[in-house]
Amino acid sequence: MIYYGLDELLSLEDKDAYWIMNLTDEQNWNKNSPFPSLLSDTTNLVVQQEQQLLLLNKKHTVLFQHQPSAQFLTYLKKKGIQIPKIKLVSDFRTYKENSVIVPFINTESIEKWSEIKGVKVFGSDSSLVKLINNKYWVRELMLKYGFLTTKGYFCKGEEETRKAYTRLSNDSFKKYVLKLPYGSSGKGLFIFKELQEVNSILKRNGDNRLLIEGWHESDRQLNTQILIDENINILSITEQIINHNAKYLGTNFTPTYKKEILDNYKSKIWDIAEIIKNLGYKGVLGIDSILDREGNLYPAIEINARFTQVSYLTSLIKNIDKKYIESRTVDLFSKTKRSFNELNIQLDKLLSRHGFNYTIYTFAESFTGSKYLYRIYVLFYTDYQVLLNSQIELFYNYIRGGLLWTI
């Protein structure tokens, strides 16, 4: 459910705005992580900078780490998307008094960089942003104000963690999650079933604080995007699609709920947004929630004081006149360099012949030294749920079968 496009409410029309996707900055807040290395072949992928192209404000400038594919830009223009101005981060200069940096997330490094450049930063200061993004702080905040929280315990040392695990096991949990303070899209989480799986983590962690929770089997994974300025504005309510390891796979932009569930959810979200607003926060806020299989609503599993990919897509989605809209993301590998047109031609042959509607809205490339890596995001939309399901199933089957490079 998209209520407003980001461009409708964001007060930047009179600003010389520069958008930057500093997606990985948040991970740097986890110091001395005890978790196994999360680095993989996909770590070096350009961090979805192309999603900023969907802002639908051609007066603004997006700052890229490298030039995007010219073929991809041509494709977006043919889709009717107005491309903003593009400038490389390394070439960024501005002398206008009304200039402002709009980062994915405001961090200490962004503030230092903007100070050097002599430009203001949109949103709240990095210390408040860091506080709100802390999963431990969010859990304590929810407990303080009486909101329902997932079953879990803060622990220091192996003995406390083992005792907490035993208590959760006695409460009939079969799956558990260790959480670090920071991380998104499944990062900063370690999911396990048996305690011996995390022995090495506990030894490395020493007496540092950890959060262990029972894994609640969720029926719906909700996300609300909010813009806080002088008022509280709900931009969207969407549903995240994740796998068994909490890795982000895509978004359902058009979920439906019974009226009593939606009303209760909005009421809880509004109360939480009021608390955050009273801290002095201004900017975009994302709240992740779950509705479990017993109908229990946990209104704030995480609070993200930053943009998300949904933030950038709100204006685009609002202009799609279809009843069902979902996205999916996949990583593709190739021994040889591939062009965007190669990808698009293959998908067009696969999907268009069935009358399916789709838009590729991210095409990111990286090279590791032995192979090329590509991360793509695809938007699917139709007026019929059965067609949407068929479209997504066909897409995944095509990829799993190795017909679209390899995955």
pLDDT of residue 66: 86
More confident residue, 4 or 400: 4
**CATH class given for the domain over 147-214:** alpha beta
pLDDT digits (tens, 9 = 90+) for 364-405: 888 878 888 888 999 999 999 999 999 999 888 887 766 565
Q: How far apart are CA 64 and CA 361, in angstroms?
A: 16
Q: pLDDT band for 236, please (50, 70, 90 cuts).
A: very high
Give the whole-number percent of the chain exceeding pLDDT 70: 93
pLDDT greater at residue 191 or residue 94: 191
Phi, psi angle pair for 390, to nearest 5°: -65, -40
pLDDT of residue 97: 83
Q: Report residue 352's pLDDT band, with 50, 70 and 90 as the boundaries.
A: confident
d(CA 226, CA 235): 5
| pLDDT score of 31 | 64
- Flag whether pLDDT at 28 surpasses 80: no
33 pLDDT band, cuts 50/70/90, is low
How far apart, in whole angstroms, are the C-alpha atoms of residue 198 and residue 56? 46
Confidence of residue 7 (pLDDT cuts 50, 70, 90): confident
Average pLDDT over residues 310-339: 91
Superfamily of domain 132-137+217-311, CATH level 4: ATP-grasp fold, B domain (3.30.470.20)
Does 147-214 match 132-137+217-311 at the fold level? no
What per-residue confidence (pLDDT) applies to 404?
61
Domain 324-400 sits in CATH 3.30.420.40: no
pLDDT in tens, 87-110: 999 899 877 888 999 999 999 999
Would you state the structure tokens that stand for residue 86, as one six-digit string? 């593009």
Q: 224-242: string of b/e by CB count within 10 Å (b at 16+)?
A: bbbbbeeeebbbbbbbbbe
The whole-angstrom separation of Cα 225 and Cα 233 is 9
Q: Which of 5-19, 61-75, 147-161 has the lowest mean pLDDT?
A: 5-19
Higher pLDDT, 59 or 250: 250
Q: For 272-305, what is each residue's pLDDT tens digit?
A: 999 999 999 999 999 999 999 889 999 999 999 9
* Average pLDDT rounded to a whole number, residues 358-368: 89
Specify whether the backbone of 270 is left (phi greater than 0), alpha (psi in -120 to 50) or beta: alpha
Task: Give residue limits of the domains in the chain.
Answer: 6-122, 132-137+217-311, 147-214, 324-400
Q: pLDDT value at position 402?
A: 64
Report the predicted TM-score, pTM, of the whole model to 2 decimal places.
Answer: 0.91
DSSP 310: H
pLDDT at position 44: 45
